[in-house]
Each structure stands twice: as C-alpha cells, then as structure tokens.
C-alpha cells in the first residue's frame, strides 16, 4: 500500500515540474511586460534581472504554502486517500488548463486556477463522502471563510489594481509630462528614491517574515527597525541615484524599471510559487503523516496533521526557483502571452488583436460624454495646462525616428506599472492572500495606459474589448477549473491508479499536440513578420517597398494556386480532413494579406516626402492581392461544408470541366509569378488574353450548368456550389489581372523616377 502512494507522490512532483514550466510561461508577462514594452534594456539584461528576482523570491514563499494544505478545505475531515485524490486531480487539471490559455496567447491566472481546482476537487470528494453516509456536512469540509476571503481578494484586485494604476499614472504624468528629460535631471533622483524605497519597504520589511533563509533574530531586527530602514533607504537611494546621474549620466528611469522588474519577479515567485508546488508539497507532507502511522488504513486516517503550521525546506524552494529561471529563458509561449499585454497597453496606434463590442462602444461613448461634461466645469486654463502635460507631439517624433526600435510606451509608465504592481502583490503575500499576479499586473498596465491617453478614439473600443476578453477568460478559468477538476476527481476516486495512468497519458498527448500547434502558429507568424519592410532612420524607401511588394505578392499568389488545386482535388476525393486543413491554410493566407493591408498606413507614413506617389501603387497592389486571396475563402469553406454535411459531390462531367479550368488557371498564375519576379511586362497583353479566354470558358461552363439544372440532371446543393466555384474563380482571375496591371504601373513609375534622378 505504501508503495502505491509513494508512486502517487512521485507523480505529483513530476506534474509539479511540468506545472512550473507551463505556469511560468503563462505568468512571465506579469514581470516582463513593462521592461520589454519600454525597452528599458537589452532583452538579455531584462531576463537576467527577472531570473535573479525569481530565484530570490522563491525563498520568500514558505508562508504561502499553507494555502494548498488548509486554505481552501479543512484537511482534518478528509482521509489520506481522499487528500491524494484531491491533489492528483488538481495537478492534472492545472497543467491542461494553463497550457490551453498559453497556446492561444491569453494571460490567465494561475492563482485562480489553483484556488478553484482545490475548491472543485474538495467539493467532489466531500460529496462522495456524504453520499457514503458521512456524518459531516459538505459545507464543513470546505474552509468557507478563508476560501471566500481569497476569492474576494482576487476579484477585488481587478478593480483596485486598475484604479490605483490609473490614478498614480495620471499624477505622475502631470508631474513629469511626456517631455520628461529636463524635469528628470532634478526630480529624477527623488522620484527614484521614493519608488525604490516603496519596493524595499514592502519586500524587505514586510516580506522578511516569510523568508526561509532568515533566522528569527534577523527577522525581529528588521521588524523593529522598519522606520529607520525606510528613512535611510530613501536618503541612500536618492543620493546614489543623484550621483549616478551626475557622474555617469545614468538613466534613472532605466534603473527604476530594472529594479522594479527584479522586485516584481521576486513578488511573483513569493506569491505564486504555491500555485505550482504547493499541492505536491502538501501531498508529500500528507504522505509523511501516513508513514508516521505504521499499519494505518489510508481510507480511515484523517489528515489532521495538515491543519498545523508546516515548514517548507529551503532546498525545495531553491530547486523550484531554478526550474522557473530555466523556463523563463527557454519558453516561447511566454513571449506570446507578453505580446497580448503589450499590444493592449502600447501608446501608438497599430493593428488591434481584438474587435469591437457593444459594451466597449457604449463605454467609449459614455467616457466621451463624461469628458465633455467635466471640461465644462473645470476652468479652461487648468485643462490647457493638463493637456500640455499630456502633449505627445515631441514624443511621437522621437518614436518615428526610432522606427521599429521604438518602445510600446515610455519608461515613466513602465516604472509606475512595476512599482504599483509589486507593492500590491507584496501586501497580499504578507497577508497570505494568493492574490493573482496576472490580475494585478495586467490591470495596473491597463489603468496606466488609460490614464496616459493611450486609448484614443481610434483604438479605445478595441482595447476595451481586449481587456474585457482577457477578464472574461479569467472568469472562464474559474468556472472551467472547478468543473473540469470536479469531473477528474470523480474519475480518479473511482478509477484508482489505472485512471491516473490514463489521465497522465492524456495530459502528455494534449501538451504534445498543443506544442505542435503552437510551433505551427509561430512559424506562420514568423512568415508574416518577414513581410515587414526594412526601415532606414525611421524612413522607408520606395525601392524597398517595391522589392518587398514583389516578393510578398509572388509568394502569396503561389500559395493561392496551390491551395486552389488542393481544395478541388480533396473535394473530388471527398477527403473531409484535407478540406478542413485547406480552410486553415486559406485562413493563414488571408492573415498574411490582412497584415500587409494593415501595414499600409505605417508604410505610407514612413515614406520620404518625394517618394509618396509610390504609396498609391503599393496600396493598389495590396488591395488586389487581398481580394485575390479572399476569393479562395468562398471556394474552400463551401467545399468543406458540402462534404462535412455529406452532400452529393459533382458529376464526372463537372469534374472534367474543373480540371480544364485548373490547368489553364495554373498556367496563367505561373506566367504571372514569372512576370512579377522578373519585372518584365512586355508579354502582359498575351497573358491578359489568356485570362480573358479562361473567363469566357467559365461563362460557357456556367451556361452548361444552367442547362443541366433545367433538365434536372444536377442536385440543388451541388449546382449552387459548382456555380459558386465558377463565379469565385472568375473573380480571382479579374483581381489577378488588376494586380498585374497595378504592379506593372508600379515598376514603370519607379523606372521613370530613377531615370529622372539620373
């Protein structure tokens, strides 16, 4: 019997390692987004700073480990076997949920996951016990007061973080403005002293009591001399920063951001480590209690021993810290989650990841009306002064000069993000409340971006929709975590060791599949990023636009031809799986063309004044390319739906006609690609004649199909699909013809322009 439960403990720790890897991938956004978004330092320096914070913060988390043992349920009412079922179900569920959210790139909360998983698993086991004639009510099994306090704290953190971030950023921006270079010379050391002292106080003075490496005398001395530490810290940091500024021209804001990154990574590790290893450590403690009662029945040994205070060995925290650091350096998914947070808080306009929603539109309208009403009350000199502090004209000019190297937001906002978030998280850690670091850091970042007027009328509805989508994902996490773990706990309870092995196999398969999909998605995004046009000193040359346009157009046209052929071949074979793959390929092609079209604004804006006419031709080419690719959507999707609904496919006669179309279209596309690649348009008229001939043939086939319908020789669904394919193929050819003409005009314009230059 002992061997079985020893295996359970080993499995729990193996799952803990996996959970650490998945969890850090999800939560890296919490402490990296500000430094990366502001480009405060090279990526390597930021990562080293965060890694050091994580490693040290892990040793501060020993007090938080009690949450997994007795924070959500009352262990004294559960038997040893019950506890192991709860912990096993929690770990299996946690890995799957976090990996799903990481893969789709949404920041979710590891704290919410673990809290609701513990709650769901404990509830499931408690119901089973009551069903088997337990005298203790289900409610007594749950630590309701503590659970409600934790859940309330998590939910409250959303509002508190957003409001705190917005208010502090508003006054900070008024204090420094966007043109903060001059003010920073004499106010920077004081601001840095205040910011770093606040971090020092909450992490050292308030957090020392949870440090596993400090003895009681050191903790007592820190607690007794808190005010002195604050005073000397304030004076010391102010003097040090002033000296660094005057002697070495050190950027004080960079120092604040890096120290803030270290502090937030430290606060994250101290608060969130329980989410990853708290459950396995609690399971290990339960196993030690079981071993201390030789001959005890695991189905009758109550886990009263877990109710007391248990010290967590420092070496376990250190090992966990090392795993977290290694994951931070190697995780690709972490960068995906970081991108979501940075995109939603960036200062400049650009492609928005999220769409519009009714609620977001209503909020923006309400905010505009409220702003107008407030401006009527406040004296105009005051509003003018405030507007001057928020004037971004010079800041935008600096950003344009930096081009792609421009930060998403400045370091004033980054410093506020880090200081406010680290203080809020550390306060929660000291009160042993597993506050969601994701909620806090994300909402602080959203609050500061709102106060900084980053949500202009061009982007506000999309940013708000994005924030609501992320928050909705958090609540979905809670509901999903409770529901899934409830089911898993029942499976583990009744299925035993065999069920656990099956579930572990399922988890491994699920993660492997998720990893494969993520790599495929990453590869596609890499292809999209390669379409970006090279900048020189913040400007784009029209020759670069032409070259990149030629390469992008040629590559996408080839993909369109390949997918067109594959779609019709898969339809003829009634290969549903292949057709589904083609719809995804079409989606990726459309994503590329959409990216090119979305970049038109920034591309034209960065063209040099004398080359602005090139923008007209570039816009035309990209528009026609987008329409050409879009036609493919209306061919691939209906074909898949037709086969998916098990409708009858085309007749041999119709497939023969389509085969002729495919051959002629393939020849036209091959010649088009060669023409674009070589920029030789001398034979364009011959190519256009072939295109016109194919269009005439399409009309002939359309008439033939109408005759079949008249003679009742064709099915309704099949006829509609066939006519649709002919129509969209014709549209594709027409758009391709227009694209070739626009590309020719673009090339001719550049040739004429170059001759004039000579």
Question: Would you tell me how many other CB atoms lie within 10 Å of the CB of residue 221?
Answer: 12
Sign of CA dihedral 50, 55, 56, 58: positive
Per-residue pLDDT at 567 exceeds 90: yes
Q: Can you name the residues that pair with 142 across neighbouring β-strands?
A: 73
Indicate the Cα dihedral angle 460, 444, 150, 93, nearest 10°: 70
Query: What share of the chain has pLDDT > 70, as a percent?
Result: 81
Tell me the helices (H) and strands (E) count for the chain, helix number first: 26, 0
Instruction: With CA atoms as reference, report the closest residue to 723 among 745, 744, 707.
Output: 707
The DSSP bridge partners found for residue 73 are 142
Residue 155: pLDDT band (50, 70, 90) is: confident
Nearest Cα residue to 303 out of 123, 434, 141, 92: 141
Each residue's pLDDT tens digit, 386-402: 888 888 888 877 877 77
> Tell me, what's the pLDDT at 20?
77
Q: How confident is the model at residue 634 (pLDDT cuts 50, 70, 90)?
A: very high
Supply the pLDDT for residue 36: 84
The stretch 667-672 carries a mean pLDDT of: 91
275 pLDDT higher than 90: no
pLDDT greater than 80 at residue 13: yes
**What are the DSSP calls for 384-431, one per residue?**
HHHHHHT--HHHHHHHHHHGGG--SS-HHHHHHHHHHHHHHHHHHHHT
Q: DSSP state, 533?
A: P
Give which of 218, 267, 287 is closest to 61, Cα–Cα. 267
CB 637: neighbour CB atoms within 10 A?
Answer: 16
Cβ-contact 435, 157 below 8 angstroms: yes
| Phi and psi torsions of 327, nearest 5° | -65, -40
User: Does pLDDT of 636 surpass 90?
Assistant: yes
C-alpha to C-alpha distance for 578 and 611, rounded to whole angstroms: 45
> Does the pLDDT at position 583 exceed 90?
yes
Query: CA 328, CA 322: separation in Å to the nearest integer?
Result: 10
Q: What is the mean pLDDT of residues 119-147?
A: 83
Confidence band of 430 (pLDDT split at 50, 70, 90): low
Structure tokens at 656: 């023969």
Query: How far is C-alpha 415 from the geometric centre of its chain's CA atoms?
Result: 22
What is the phi-psi region of residue 357: left when phi exceeds 0, alpha when psi lies from -120 to 50, beta otherwise?
Answer: beta
The average confidence (pLDDT) of the chain is 80
Q: What is the pLDDT of residues 41-64, one digit of tens each?
A: 888 888 888 888 888 877 766 555
Average pLDDT over residues 650-678: 90
The pLDDT value given to residue 68: 60
Domain 532-757 has CATH 2.170.270.10: no
Cβ 16 vs Cβ 279: under 8 Å: yes
For the cut 90, the answer to whether the pLDDT of residue 635 exceeds it is yes
Q: Does 185 have pLDDT greater than 70?
A: yes
Highest mean pLDDT among 176-185, 317-326, 456-465: 176-185
Interval 652-661 mean pLDDT: 91
Q: What are φ and ψ of residue 712, in 5° steps? A: 60, 35
Mean pLDDT value of segment 316-333: 76
Return the pLDDT at 407: 83
d(CA 155, CA 153): 6
- Output the CA–CA distances (angstroms, integers) from residue 745 to 476, 689, 732, 741, in the order listed: 52, 18, 20, 6
Kindly state the percentage of the chain with pLDDT values over 90.
Answer: 17
**Is the alpha carbon torsion for 557, 563, 567, 570 positive or negative?**
positive
Q: What is the pLDDT of residues 215-254, one digit of tens each?
A: 778 878 877 887 888 889 899 999 999 998 888 888 888 8
Q: How far is Cα of residue 687 from the mean position of the Cα atoms in its chain? A: 46
* DSSP code string of 287-310: HHHHHTSTT--TTT-B-GGGGS--
Four-point Cα dihedral 258, 259, 264, 270, nearest 10: 130
**Model confidence at 537: pLDDT above 50:** no
Question: Can you give the pLDDT at residue 486?
Answer: 94
Which of 453-467, 468-482, 588-602, 684-698 shows the lowest mean pLDDT across its residues?
Answer: 453-467
Enter the tokens of residue 247. Answer: 């002697």
The domain locations on the chain are: 2-523, 532-757
Using CA atoms, how far apart are residues 753 and 748, in angstroms rounded to an integer?
Answer: 8
Q: Could you tell me the end-to-end alpha-carbon distance of the chain, in angstroms, rounded to an integer? A: 90
pLDDT score, position 138: 81
CB-side neighbour CA atoms (13 Å) of 521: 13
For 745, counting Cβ atoms within 10 Å of its Cβ (0-12 exposed, 13-18 middle, 19+ buried), the class is: middle
Residue 560 has pLDDT above 60, yes or no: yes
pTM above 0.95, yes or no: no
79: β partners:
302
* pLDDT number for residue 749: 76
- Cα 55 from chain centroid? 24
Identify which has the larger pLDDT, 113 or 436: 113
Q: Which pLDDT score is estimated for 419? A: 83
* pLDDT tens-digit map of 703-755: 988 888 887 777 788 889 999 999 999 999 999 999 998 888 888 876 665 54
Whether the predicted pLDDT of 211 surpasses 80: no
């Amino acid at each position: 019997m002992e061997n079985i439960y020893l295996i359970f403990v080993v499995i729990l720790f193996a799952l803990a390692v996996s959970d650490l890897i998945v969890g850090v991938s999800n939560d890296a956004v919490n402490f990296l987004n500000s430094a990366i978004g502001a480009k405060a330092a090279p990526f390597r320096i930021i990562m080293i700073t965060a890694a050091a914070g994580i490693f040290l913060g892990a040793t501060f988390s020993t007090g938080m480990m009690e949450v997994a043992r007795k924070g959500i349920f009352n262990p004294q009412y559960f038997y040893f076997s019950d506890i192991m079922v709860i912990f096993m179900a929690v770990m299996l569920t946690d890995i799957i949920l976090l990996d799903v959210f990481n893969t789709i790139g949404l920041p979710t909360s590891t704290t919410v996951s673990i809290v609701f998983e513990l709650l769901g698993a404990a509830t499931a086991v408690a119901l089973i016990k009551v069903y088997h004639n337990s005298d203790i009510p289900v409610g007594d099994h749950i630590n309701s007061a503590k659970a409600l306090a934790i859940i309330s704290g998590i939910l409250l953190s959303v509002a508190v973080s957003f409001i705190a971030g917005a208010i502090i950023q508003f006054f900070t921006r008024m204090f420094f403005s966007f043109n903060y270079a001059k003010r920073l010379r004499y106010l920077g050391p004081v601001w840095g002293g205040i910011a770093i002292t606040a971090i020092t106080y909450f992490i050292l003075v308030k957090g020392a009591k949870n440090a596993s490496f400090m003895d009681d005398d050191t903790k007592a001395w820190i607690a007794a001399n808190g005010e002195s530490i604050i005073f000397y810290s304030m004076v010391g940091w102010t003097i040090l920063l002033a000296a660094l500024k005057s002697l070495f021209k050190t950027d004080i804001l960079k120092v604040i951001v890096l120290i803030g990154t270290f502090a937030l990574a430290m606060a994250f590790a101290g608060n969130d480590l329980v989410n990853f290893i708290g459950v396995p450590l609690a399971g290990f403690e339960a196993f030690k209690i079981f071993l201390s009662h030789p001959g005890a029945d695991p189905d009758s040994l109550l886990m009263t021993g877990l109710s007391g205070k248990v010290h967590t060995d420092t070496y376990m925290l250190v090992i966990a810290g090392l795993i977290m650091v290694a994951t931070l350096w190697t995780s690709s998914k972490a960068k995906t989650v970081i991108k979501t947070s940075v995109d939603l808080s960036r200062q400049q306009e650009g492609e928005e990841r999220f769409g519009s929603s009714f609620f977001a539109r209503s909020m923006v309208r309400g905010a505009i009306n409220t702003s107008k009403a407030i401006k009527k009350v406040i004296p105009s000199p005051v509003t003018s002064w405030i507007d001057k502090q928020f004037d971004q004209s010079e800041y935008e000019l600096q950003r344009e000069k930096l081009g792609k190297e421009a930060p998403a937001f400045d370091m004033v906002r980054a410093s506020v993000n880090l200081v406010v978030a680290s203080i809020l998280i550390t306060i929660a850690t000291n009160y042993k409340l597993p506050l969601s670091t994701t909620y806090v850091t994300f909402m602080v970042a959203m609050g500061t971006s709102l106060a900084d007027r980053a949500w202009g009328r061009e982007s506000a509805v999309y940013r708000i929709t994005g924030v609501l989508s992320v928050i909705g994902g958090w609540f979905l996490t809670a509901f999903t975590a409770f529901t899934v773990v409830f089911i898993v706990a029942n499976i583990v309870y009744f299925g035993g060791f065999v069920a656990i092995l099956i579930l572990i196999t399922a988890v491994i398969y699920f993660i492997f599949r998720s990893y494969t999909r993520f790599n495929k998605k990453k590869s596609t995004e890499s292809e999209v990023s390669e379409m970006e046009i090279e900048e020189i000193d913040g400007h784009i040359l029209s020759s670069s636009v032409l070259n990149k346009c030629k390469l992008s157009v040629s590559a996408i046209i080839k993909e369109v031809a390949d997918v067109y052929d594959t779609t019709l071949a898969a339809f003829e074979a009634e290969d549903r799986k292949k057709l589904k793959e083609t719809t995804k390929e079409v989606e990726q092609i459309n994503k590329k063309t959409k990216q090119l079209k979305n970049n038109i604004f920034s591309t034209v804006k960065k063209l040099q004044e004398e080359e602005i006419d090139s923008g007209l031709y570039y816009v035309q080419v990209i528009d026609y390319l987008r329409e050409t690719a879009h036609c493919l959507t209306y061919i691939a999707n209906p074909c898949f739906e037709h086969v998916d609904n098990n409708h009858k496919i085309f007749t041999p006669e119709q497939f023969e006609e389509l085969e002729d179309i495919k051959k002629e279209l393939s020849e036209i596309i091959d010649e088009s690609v060669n023409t674009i690649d070589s920029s030789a348009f001398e034979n364009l008229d011959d190519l256009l004649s072939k295109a016109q001939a194919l269009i005439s043939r399409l009309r002939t086939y359309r008439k033939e199909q109408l005759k079949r319908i008249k003679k009742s020789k064709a099915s309704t669904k099949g006829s509609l699909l066939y006519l649709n394919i002919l129509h969209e193929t014709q549209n594709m050819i027409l758009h391709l013809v227009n694209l070739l003409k626009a590309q020719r005009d673009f090339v001719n314009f550049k040739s004429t322009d170059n001759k004039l230059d000579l």
